[in-house]
């Protein structure tokens, strides 16, 4: 294989190829091609067994070897042996599975459930897969048992103190990523590194580091082992691209259509060059990024791996191509579209309980546009616009467009983003630069890096290449309040879950209630943090990510994995879920019991115990108290108190490997399952009902005062207490934004939210009627996108509970 | 209590209609007109009123026992319990609301002092700034509370908040007219040219309205004119032409908003125990476009909707 060619020869080769590249550029793409490729992504995902199978085979072969080496060799085997393919019409090539839209198996994380749910996967009401063919099922039965007791979740379960294990998925949902069957994801790998240096360039650095090591030194020897693993993965990735080069060449030889033949030849040339070598054109850069991304995902399938600031790092090559006349803005836009479409080919199968936490099948490939440059200037460029425009005709669920809003951001750019958001029923996230930069500074990043931030996953601020910033499981804040009101006993489970904080009937003041709640948080938050930390510990020990690590600064120099403190900065969060319910509940008690004295604590507690059955008066009085989301200081201040107090608890300890321990306010889609384990709340929510979605979005349907009031409630929170991010979800009727003038007002609404302390805001711009129609006729609404959590999903692929939850959200109409 | 108060039946934070930019719209209760097509019937009477959402009633009877004047009865109608309110007897004491736990009984209208209302308006200040918005004082007819409105406008001006009054134009008191003059912008309704039809449709003469319109135009008050288009009432070519011609002759009209009939207000008639008399079909979009063109032909900047 060409893999072994010397660098010198590679350079010579590229020079030769460089001469011919004028005529070998991408000629044209066309709407038809984009439409065809897009259509193919609107299919039910299929399970691909290859990754799981090859991983298993490799692990059997490498028993006894260092863990990092085993990981690297497993990745190399998968990349070498997995099925590859180039579809008709494709110009950017590379598949992460053998399927069109394939689900990867990660038995090294969890394994047993695949066998248990093999049939269920195609019939369950959330994240449904196509039925798994018999041969695949047989294969799964053959290799999955190997992992019994070896999967990370088995190790996690064995490490957690037995008496605390029962709190998992009660106090906190999704605490152990390994139990969710997902790697951390949220990669902020810097693609600039791969574009500029290529795999070969990185490998040279690895070799240089290895050459410096004194193998007699224990810690340096560890580095040696680790860097050897990195090297294996870099070579494996180059060989993977090489397989595509060969495939394209073979296909070209057989191709009779002259145009396609030329395209295949171009693909062959390109994959021969990148990602092994630096990219010389915009097209090469996209192909290089794509293969790199695939390898990164195959190494560690997880959600929200970002391309981060693609409009920034791709700009120099784009500009060069435009100046050389080898690309037009239209062509660049179409290439971006091909790239977006590719990001939709992979999904992660989650065990059913976890699928309800992370419903919607998206990997969420984040593209962050605009914002500031390192020296504080407006960063919007032509490519920022092209990335936005490209999305208009793609509008699939995985590519995730985030628009940074700063006072310096041009109105034209904000308007373009609003236009695209409207066309895509809401699918663009808007993010405040001012707030986010403050958050990054608070967590210790220097200003020039903070200005270059991006977002990974749902809402995690990060700095590509410099920092790994991972969210965490979702702490069920309403449950903690329930415990404070019920002397530590969970109403639904009926067990002592938290400390005994006294019979709430005897509470004479609001402060007593607050103290009980605080005690529950102080006692149970450390459990949540421990769950998180053990998870991180296990990933670092058994599931390092040497390939991904090579795309961060310092991991090679430090000889440490990104998930083991190798990056200059890192934060690990836990998410606060349902804080608005806690705020609404505390406000209702404060007002109705301790101030207006309309109710006694005893009456409230009796009513809660009865789930408000026959207690309509109590329900009425509690429901009439101020609710978060209406710019009412009485309750908004309490929500902020809750966030501040919880955040302080989380920050008391360090995270794994010296990281900062911080908070997010988010739920993904766990607001539904977390609600299952919470009884009736004093805010009027009944037992088992969903809790507020999005972490800081007002509870569904309670924000009735208008959009600006909702925004101000959220913008006034101290977002430096939730530095891993949060989400405000708002729903607008499309009529409310129907013409240019109204869209202009919408843009100013967003600007003001971002400039007055808000963080991330996103919209569903789809009418209740449309959503109800889609429930009735799913076949006609296959590509109707909605925002769930912070990502987009196809409405018709969601469970009925989640669909109803979206419909229940406050819709702002034209009035 | 000598502090000036006015009954407000609705406040919208973040309206994209009702004037320029992002607005906070406050609705004052009480109107001299009784337009057949009125979509805010809860804005007609000058005092808070009982709002009855019959579908939410479970027939618990709490309200019956607390009503001091016996205005509430529960009728059993084919096995269903039906709430029957004698609005003649009802004194709007609202005791029944406190004991209605299902939300079937509620109220339209709360009294605000200027201070209280201004505090609410000021919350949205940052949105006004970025969008060129402000507060829109509508109703009902806001100028029926001239003292309140003048004081509110003064407070807004001191804080550089743009003010608009949404008016039916039927303003006869000097203080009311002063309020119109003080506002930065007027959203001024023109509901017909012909006197008899106007009288029939709205219950009042349009003479003072047209007089005010011309006077305010003459002093250069910025105007957005709102023309309701109600089939069978205000949509004859003659009426629309007449309005367009009149508006075309004015100099301070910045925009004309063509307000096509809608039925969003229908549910509120039932809640108020009022009869809904309008029975019309929506206006097809093509016809709306033609009406827009008609106004544009008179040199008027015209848009569909508010």
d(CA A692, CA A585): 12
**pLDDT tens for each residue of A163-206:** 999 999 889 988 999 999 999 999 999 999 999 999 999 999 99
Token output for B51: 């709002």
Q: Average pLDDT, whole number, for chain A?
A: 93
Q: What is the DSSP string of B106-172?
A: EEE-EEEEHHHHHHHHHTTHHHHHHHT-EEEEEES-GGGSHHHHHHHHHHHHHTT-EEEEEE-S---
A607-623 per-position pLDDT tens digit: 999 999 999 999 999 99
- Among B13, B17, B102, the residue with its CB nearest the CB of A616 is B102
CATH assignment of B5-46+110-304, given 3.40.50.300, 3.20.20.70, 2.40.420.20, 1.20.1090.10? 3.20.20.70
- Kindly state whether B87 is in contact with chain A, defined as any CB-CB distance less than 8 angstroms: no
For residue range A551-604, what is the model confidence (pLDDT) as tens digits? Answer: 999 999 999 999 999 999 999 999 999 999 999 999 999 999 999 999 999 999
- The distance of B117 to chain A (nearest Cα, Å) reads 14
Q: Which of A228-242, A256-270, B68-82, B147-161 has the lowest mean pLDDT?
A: B68-82
Nearest residue to A99 (alpha-carbon basis) of A88, A84, A78, A111: A84
Question: What average pLDDT score do residues A644-661 get?
Answer: 96
Q: Between chains, do A745 and B131 touch, taking CB under 8 Å as contact? A: yes
Q: For chain B, where do the domains classified as CATH 3.30.70.20 start and end?
A: 55-107
User: Contact, A725 vs A440, CB < 8 A?
Assistant: no
A529-558 CB burial, b ≥16 within 10 A, e <16:
bbbbbbbbbbbbebbbbbbbbbbbbbbbeb
A418 closest CA partner among A709, A147, A749: A749
Who contacts A316 (Cβ-Cβ below 8 Å, separation ≥6)? Answer: none
Q: Any CB–CB contact under 8 A between B60 and chain A? A: yes
Whether the predicted pLDDT of A656 surpasses 80: yes
Longest dimension (CA), chain A: 86
Nearest one of A95, A98, A108 to A135, comparing CA atoms: A98
Among A620, A739, A749, beta carbon nearest to B14 = A749
Share of chain B above pLDDT 90, in %: 90
Quick check: B156 and B207 in contact, CB under 8 A? no
**Which chain B residues are Cβ-neighbours of A749 within 8 angstroms?**
14, 22, 127, 131
Q: What count of residues does chain B have?
A: 306
Is A620 in contact with B14 (Cβ distance < 8 A)? no
- Would residue B134 be called left, alpha or beta, if left means φ above 0 and alpha means ψ between -120 and 50 degrees? left
Residue A814 contacts B, CB cutoff 8 Å: yes
Query: B24: which chain A residues are within 8 Å (Cβ-Cβ)?
Result: 706, 708
Q: Chain A, 750-769: which have a CB under 8 Å from a chain B CB?
A: 751-752, 755-756
pLDDT at B1: 45
For chain B, say whether A617 makes contact (Cβ under 8 Å): yes
pLDDT at A15 over 80: no
- Give CA–CA dist A241/A1, Å, rounded: 11
Cβ-proximal residues to A519 (8 Å cutoff; 6+ apart), any chain: A484, A499, A501
pLDDT digits (tens, 9 = 90+) for A40-57: 999 899 999 999 999 999
B22 Cβ under 8 Å from any chain A Cβ: yes
| Cα A532 from Cα A572, distance rounded (Å) | 8
Residue B189 to residue B39: CA distance in whole angstroms: 14
Strands of B18-108, DSSP E: 23-28, 49-52, 72-77, 80-85, 105-108
Q: Which residues of A touch B129 (CB under 8 A)?
A: 752
Is B101 within 8 Å of A712 when comparing Cβ atoms?
no
- Chain A CB contacts of B14 under 8 Å are 706-709, 711, 749, 812
Does residue B133 sit at the A interface (CB-CB below 8 Å)?
Answer: yes
Nearest chain A residue (CA) to B129: A752
Q: How far is A636 from chain B (nearest CA, A)?
A: 13
8 A C-beta contact, residue B169 and residue B212: yes
CB pairs under 8 A between A and B: 77
Chain A interface disruption, residue of B16, B20, B255, most A CBs within 10 A:
B16
User: Pick from B12, B103, B127: which is nearest to A815 by CB?
Assistant: B12
User: CA-nearest residue of chain A to B18?
Assistant: A815
Rounded to a whole number of angstroms, the distance between the first and last alpha carbons of chain B is 38
Q: What's the CA gap between A788 and A397, in Å, rounded?
A: 11
Contacts of A705 in chain B (CB under 8 A): 11-13
What is the mean pLDDT of the segment spanning A119-137? Answer: 93
| Cβ(A521)–Cβ(A506) below 8 Å | no
Residue B109 Cα distances to B5, B8, B9, B139, B148, angstroms: 12, 5, 4, 11, 16
- Angstroms from B12 CA to nearest CA on chain A: 6
**Nearest CA among B108, B132, B172, B145 for reference residue B5:** B145
Query: How far from the centroid of its chain's Cα atoms is residue A590's Cα?
Result: 37
Q: What does the alpha-carbon distance between residue A630 and residue A633 come to, in Å, rounded to a whole number?
A: 9
- Interface touch B16/A619, C-beta < 8 Å: no
Residue from A709, A797, A748, A695 nearest A460 by CA: A695
CB contact at 8 A, A83 and A317: no
Q: How many CB atoms lie within 10 A of CB A82?
A: 19
Q: Where in chain B is the domain with CATH 3.20.20.70?
A: 5-46+110-304
Closest-CA distance, A619 to chain B, in angstroms, reads: 7
* Domain B55-107, classified CATH 3.30.70.20, yes or no: yes
By C-alpha distance, the chain A residue nearest B39 is A815
Q: Can you tell me which residue has the tokens 């807004």? A: B156
3-state secondary structure of A662: strand
Residue A457 above 50 pLDDT?
yes
How many angstroms separate the CA atoms of A369 and A385, rounded? Answer: 9
Q: How far is B305 from chain A (nearest CA, A)?
A: 10
Question: What's the rounded Cα separation, in Å, for the pair A194 and A197?
Answer: 5
Residue A215: name the closest of A559, A553, A543, A561 by CA: A559
Token pair of A350 as six digits:
């989650």
Q: Would you say residue A20 has pLDDT above 70?
A: no
User: Could you report the per-residue pLDDT of A284-322, keeping only the tens digit for each?
Assistant: 999 999 999 999 999 999 999 999 999 999 999 999 999
pLDDT per residue, tens digit, chain B (306 aa), is 458 999 999 999 999 999 999 999 999 999 999 999 999 999 999 999 999 998 899 899 999 999 999 999 998 877 788 889 999 999 999 999 999 999 999 999 999 999 999 999 999 999 999 899 999 999 999 999 999 999 999 999 999 999 999 999 999 999 999 999 999 999 999 999 999 999 999 999 999 999 999 999 999 999 999 999 999 999 999 999 999 999 999 999 999 999 999 888 999 999 999 999 999 999 999 999 999 999 999 999 999 987
In angstroms, what is the C-alpha Rg of chain A? 26
Which positions in chain A touch B257 (Cβ < 8 Å)?
Answer: none
Q: Report the share of chain B in percent with pLDDT over 70.
A: 99
**What pLDDT shows up at residue A4?**
43
Q: Are B184 and B155 in contact (CB under 8 A)?
A: no
- Which ipTM did the prediction report? 0.91
Cα B66 to its chain centre, rounded Å, is 32
pLDDT for residue B285: 93
Nearest chain A Cα distance for residue B123, angstroms: 8
């Amino acid at each position: 294989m060409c893999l072994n060619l010397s660098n010198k020869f590679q350079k010579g080769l590229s020079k030769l190829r460089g001469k011919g590249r004028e005529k070998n550029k991408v000629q044209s793409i066309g709407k038809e091609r984009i439409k065809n490729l897009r259509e193919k992504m609107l299919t039910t995902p299929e399970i691909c067994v290859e990754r799981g199978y090859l991983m298993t085979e490799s692990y059997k072969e490498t028993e006894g070897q260092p863990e990092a080496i085993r990981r690297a060799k497993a990745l190399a085997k998968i990349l070498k042996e997995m099925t590859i393919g180039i579809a008709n019409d494709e110009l950017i090539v590379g598949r992460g599975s053998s399927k069109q839209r394939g689900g990867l198996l990660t038995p090294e994380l969890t394994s047993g459930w695949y066998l248990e749910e093999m049939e269920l996967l195609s019939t369950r009401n959330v994240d449904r897969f196509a039925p798994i063919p018999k041969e695949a099922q047989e294969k799964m039965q053959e290799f999955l048992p190997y992992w019994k007791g070896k999967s990370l979740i088995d190790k996690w379960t064995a490490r957690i103190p037995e008496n605390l294990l029962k709190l998992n998925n009660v106090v906190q949902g999704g605490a152990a990523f390994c139990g969710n069957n997902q790697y951390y994801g949220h990669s902020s790998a810097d693609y600039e590194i791969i574009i500029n240096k290529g795999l070969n360039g990185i490998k040279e650095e690895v070799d240089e580091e290895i050459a410096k090591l004194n193998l007699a030194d224990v810690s340096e020897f560890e580095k040696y082992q680790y860097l050897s693993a990195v090297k294996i993965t870099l070579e494996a990735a180059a060989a993977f691209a090489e397989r595509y080069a060969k495939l394209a060449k073979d296909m070209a030889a057989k191709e009779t259509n002259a145009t396609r033949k030329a395209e295949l030849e171009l693909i062959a040339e390109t994959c021969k060059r990148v990602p092994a070598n630096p990219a010389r054109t915009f097209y090469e850069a996209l192909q290089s990024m794509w293969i790199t991304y695939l390898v990164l995902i195959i190494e560690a399938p997880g959600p929200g791996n970002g391309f981060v600031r693609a409009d920034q790092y791709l700009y120099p090559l784009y500009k060069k191509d435009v100046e050389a006349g080898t690309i037009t803005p239209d062509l660049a836009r179409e290439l971006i579209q091909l790239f977006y479409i590719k990001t939709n080919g992979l999904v992660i199968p989650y065990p059913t309980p976890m699928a309800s936490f992370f419903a919607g099948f998206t990997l969420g490939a984040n593209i962050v546009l605009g914002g500031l440059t390192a020296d504080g200037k407006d960063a919007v460029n032509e490519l920022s616009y092209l990335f936005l425009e490209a999305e208009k005709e793609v509008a699939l669920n995985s590519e995730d467009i985030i628009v940074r809003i700063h006072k310096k951001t041009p109105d034209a750019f904000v308007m373009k983003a609003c236009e695209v958001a409207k066309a895509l029923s809401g699918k663009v996230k808007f993010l405040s630069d001012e707030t986010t930069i403050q958050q990054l500074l608070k967590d210790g990043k220097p200003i020039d890096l903070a200005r270059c931030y991006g977002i990974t996953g749902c809402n995690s601020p990060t700095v590509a290449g410099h920092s790994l910033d991972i969210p965490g499981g979702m702490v069920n804040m309403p449950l903690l309040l329930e415990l404070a009101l019920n002397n530590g006993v969970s109403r639904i489970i009926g067990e002592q879950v938290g400390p005994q904080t006294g019979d709430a009937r005897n509470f004479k003041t609001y402060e007593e209630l607050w103290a009980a709640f605080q005690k529950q948080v102080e006692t149970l938050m450390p459990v949540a943090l421990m769950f998180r930390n053990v998870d991180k510990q296990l990933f670092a020990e058994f599931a390092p990510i040497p390939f991904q690590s090579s795309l961060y600064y310092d991991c090679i120099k430090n000889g440490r994995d990104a998930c083991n403190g190798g990056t200059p900065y890192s934060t690990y969060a836990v998410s606060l879920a349902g804080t608005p319910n806690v705020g609404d509940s505390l406000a209702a008690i404060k007002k109705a019991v301790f101030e207006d004295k309309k109710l006694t604590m005893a009456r409230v507690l009796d009513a809660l115990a009865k789930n408000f059955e026959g207690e309509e008066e109590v329900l009425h009085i509690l429901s009439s108290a101020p609710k978060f989301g209406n710019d009412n200081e009485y309750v908004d201040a309490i929500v902020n108190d809750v966030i501040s107090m919880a955040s302080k608890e989380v920050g008391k300890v360090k995270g794994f490997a010296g990281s900062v321990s911080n908070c997010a306010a988010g739920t993904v889609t766990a607001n539904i399952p977390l609600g299952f384990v919470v009884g009736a709340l004093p805010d009027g929510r009944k037992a088992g009902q969903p809790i507020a979605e999005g972490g800081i979005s007002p509870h569904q349907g309670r924000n009735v005062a208008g959009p600006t009031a909702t925004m101000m409630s959220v913008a006034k929170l101290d977002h430096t207490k939730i530095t891993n991010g949060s989400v405000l979800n708002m729903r607008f009727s499309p009529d409310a934004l129907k013409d240019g003038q109204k869209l202009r007002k919408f843009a100013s609404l967003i600007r003001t939210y971002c400039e007055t302390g808000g963080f991330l805001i996103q919209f569903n711009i789809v009418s209740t009627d449309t959503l109800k129609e889609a429930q009735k006729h799913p076949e006609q609404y296959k590509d109707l996108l909605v925002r769930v959590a912070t990502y987009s999903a196809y409405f018709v692929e969601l469970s009925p509970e989640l669909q109803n939850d979206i419909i229940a959200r406050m819709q702002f109409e034209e009035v | 209590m000598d502090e000036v108060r006015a009954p407000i039946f609705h406040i919208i934070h973040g309206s994209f209609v009702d004037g320029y930019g992002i607005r906070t719209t406050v609705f004052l209760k009480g109107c001299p007109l009784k337009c057949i097509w009125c979509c805010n019937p809860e804005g007609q009477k000058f005092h808070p009123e009982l709002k009855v959402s019959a579908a939410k009633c479970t027939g618990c009877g709490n309200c019956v026992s607390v009503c001091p004047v016996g205005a509430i009865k529960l009728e059993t109608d084919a096995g269903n319990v039906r709430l029957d309110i004698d609005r003649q007897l009802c004194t709007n004491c609202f005791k029944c609301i406190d004991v209605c736990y299902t939300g079937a009984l509620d109220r339209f209208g709360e009294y605000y002092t200027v201070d209280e209302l201004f505090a609410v308006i000021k919350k949205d200040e940052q949105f006004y700034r970025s969008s060129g918005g402000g507060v829109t004082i509508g109703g009902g007819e806001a100028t029926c509370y001239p003292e309140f409105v003048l004081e509110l406008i003064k407070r807004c001006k001191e804080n550089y908040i743009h003010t608009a009054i949404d008016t039916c134009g039927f303003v006869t008191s000097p203080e009311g007219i002063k309020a119109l003059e003080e506002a930065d912008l007027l959203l001024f309704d023109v509901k017909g040219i012909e006197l008899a039809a106007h009288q029939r449709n709205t219950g009042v003469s349009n003479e003072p309205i047209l007089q005010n319109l011309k006077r305010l135009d003459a002093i250069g008050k910025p105007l957005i004119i709102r023309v309701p288009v109600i089939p069978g009432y205000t949509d004859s070519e003659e009426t629309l032409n007449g309005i367009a011609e009149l508006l075309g002759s004015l100099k301070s009209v910045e925009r004309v908003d063509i307000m096509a009939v809608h039925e969003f207000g229908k549910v509120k008639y039932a809640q108020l125990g009022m009869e809904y008399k309008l029975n019309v079909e929506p206006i097809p979009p093509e016809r709306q476009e033609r009406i827009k063109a008609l106004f544009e032909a008179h040199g008027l900047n015209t848009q569909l909707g508010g």
